[in-house]
Amino acid sequence: MTESPWQRAVAPEVLARLHPRLRTYFGPIPAGHVGRGEGVFTVVGTPRRWLWPVLAVLARDGVLFPVWEHDVPFTVANRPVRVGRGDPGTGQEAQVAVRAHRTFRFRSGDRTMVDAIAAGPHGLVDHLGRRGRVSADLRAEVDAHGPDAGVLRLVSTRVSFRALGREWSLPALLAPRVTLTERFDDEADRQRVSLVLAAPILGTLYRYEGAFRYAIAPGQDGENDD
């Protein structure tokens, strides 16, 4: 991969504001290499148990899980891929992407969350789950000054899903909003991540946050970290 999806879809002046260690994380992963991280999430899931039946369905595809746990060890493996088949007749190509496998060490056993962030025709798109049936268009923001200087925020602007052979967009009044924050903690020498899934009226539906160390190293191209 000569360019990462973030380099293809996000303005260079925005990426230039990132903390230097985050530029590595969001930069390209060389062929034959894997980005690997290991750390602990201080919290994962939701205490709203009435949501767990819905999350159990999403868990089958590696999207979200019906849990509410603290101090959960996890690993992440990032690999360069292409998603979508492309269309030679129109000149459209498969999208450059990074697929992440995040394995959570829950008390009930290991579970793996899968997603692929791609450079779509109109910006970043996160395809959730092994089959990528749920997608979120993302807007990238990086402050140049202030307490959050160098921090990346990804905010969803549209949520869609594939069914019956077509793509359906959720109305803005119903669509959940995803906010992902990535920052580097120089004092702890760790990357910190926070994800919040919230819905109008209902508020926070799901979240995780934690810290990890990350490095790119030679590795197999297979995706069998589950």
Task: Write the secondary structure of 148-190 as one string of H (helix), E (strand) and C (coil).
Answer: CECCEEEEEEEEEEEECCEEEECCCCCCCEEEEEEEEECCCCE
Residue 113 bridge partners (DSSP): 102
Mean pLDDT of 17-37: 94
What pLDDT, in 10s, does the model give residues 33-89? 999 999 999 999 999 999 999 999 999 999 999 999 999 999 999 999 888 644 444
Amino acid code (one letter) for 156: S
Q: Assess whether pLDDT exceeds 70 at residue 91.
A: no
223: closest CA among 109, 112, 58? 112
Tokens found for residue 19: 């903390």
pLDDT confidence of residue 190: 97
pTM, to two decimals: 0.88
Listed residue (152, 123, 124, 139) closest to 24, CA to CA: 152
What is the average pLDDT across 79-104? 74
* Residue 205: predicted pLDDT: 96
| CATH code of domain 5-82+95-218 | 2.40.128.20
pLDDT at 222 (0 to 100): 53
- For the segment 162-177, the average pLDDT, to the nearest whole number, is 80
Interval 142-161: pLDDT, tens? 999 999 999 999 999 999 88
What pLDDT sits at residue 26? 96
Q: What is the pLDDT of residue 166?
A: 76
Q: Which has the higher per-residue pLDDT, 166 or 191?
A: 191
Please tell me the predicted confidence (pLDDT) of residue 87: 44
